[in-house]
Homo-oligomer: A and B are copies of this chain.
Amino acid sequence: MKHRPTIRDVAKKAGLSLSTVSLVINNRGNVSPGTRESVQKVIRELAYHPTRSARGLASKTSGNIGFILSEEHFSQAEPFYTRIFLGTEFEARDHNYYILLTTVGNQFDPDEYVPRFLLERNVDGIIIAGKVNEKLISHIDSLGLPIVLVDYEIKRAHHSAVLIDNWRGATLAVEHLLSLGHKRIAFVGGDIRHPSITDRHEAYQNTLHMAGVFLEESYEVTDEEETSVAGGTSSAERLFASGAKPTAIFAANDAMAIGCMRYLKSRGMSIPQDIAIVGFDDIEISSHIEPHLTTIRVLKEEMGKIAVQRVVDSINAKTKTVVTTHVPVELIVRESTVALAHVED
């Protein structure tokens, strides 16, 4: 018999029944310490390891966690969600789960296409990163699978979520600019419908308001479809075309900030002397572009880790507790911000 040992072999060699061995493997039930010991000894001797699919079939668990991401987010060069994903991979390992990744389009029709791991009953819980179609989310919900959202939130339905502390981040960013003497601080947002951007925008307004700074509407560019570098460039263009004369810009994310910088440079303005700029996210390239971008650091890997912890908790728990976690942010001051040179009226 050159076969891999099965639980049967272990039971036989230990002179016990299958169920006792099974109980030991899953350290469940009341097994006497002596029995447990001897079973473990046999397991070691035989180098026995349970087969995943057999456990899966019998226990109706897969040992996998599904990670769902929109196609756009997966494809985009900016590795924001990718970092969150890598964080889940890291943490999943410690919990003896594997992550199954899938991307989905913006539309969702259960008769058209459903992520394969859902159909195959190949996941025990789901992590959803970023915005995806809500119908998909409720479909998963109807399957009874635990769901954890990352960097996305749905007001109506109640799901556990791991969120960026956007409000605090934006407040830090604007306060930083204020403390440098800036008053005419513009906001360059993107898709204002994304909850994160909305929060950043509102915190921006609130912080200025609290500081007694009142600006015209032209200082806010929030009608850009794309929260991207290109979107940042075109937003900056429209900002200046509108007649606004900002001494600083708070961009809703680093990509847009970089887009703004690109525009400013092309117009011969120098950063931060002529205009200061703060981003949000602290993506990789922010510390490499010139000047190095002052930004709000988001702990992306950490978000992935927390998401895994939440979903594993939900898998093990019988009760559906909803937990919302706001991951802290941090102001990273680099070269793109500097004190206002001279006071202007």
Contacts and interface: CB of A to CB of B under 8 A. Distances in A.
Interface of A: 4, 49-57, 62-64, 74, 77, 79, 82, 86, 89, 93, 96, 98-103, 116-117, 119-122, 258, 284-285, 288-290
Nearest to A99: B101
A96 B116 contact: yes
Given A82-B82, A101-B89, A120 B52 contact: yes
A98 B100 contact: yes
Contacts of A86: 74, 82
A77 B284 contact: yes
Contact of A50 (B4, B51, B120): B120
Point out which of A52, A82, A284 has the most chain B C-beta atoms below 10 A from its C-beta: A52
Contact of A52 (B51, B55, B122): B122
Given A285-B285, A288-B285, A53 B101 contact: no
This chain's copy number in the assembly: 2
Point out which of A51, A55, A86, A98 has the most chain B C-beta atoms below 10 A from its C-beta: A98
Nearest to A286: B288
Contacts of A49: 119-120
Contacts of A54: 53, 57
A103 B50 CA distance: 21
Nearest to A111: B47
Nearest to A64: B98
Contacts of A82: 79, 82, 86
B51 A57 contact: yes
Nearest to A283: B284
Contact of A288 (B56, B102, B288): B288
Contacts of A117: 52, 98
A220 B103 CA distance: 45
14 contacts: A49-B119, A51-B121, A52-B62, A53-B54, A53-B55, A56-B57, A57-B57, A79-B284, A82-B86, A98-B117, A99-B101, A285-B285, A288-B289, A289-B290
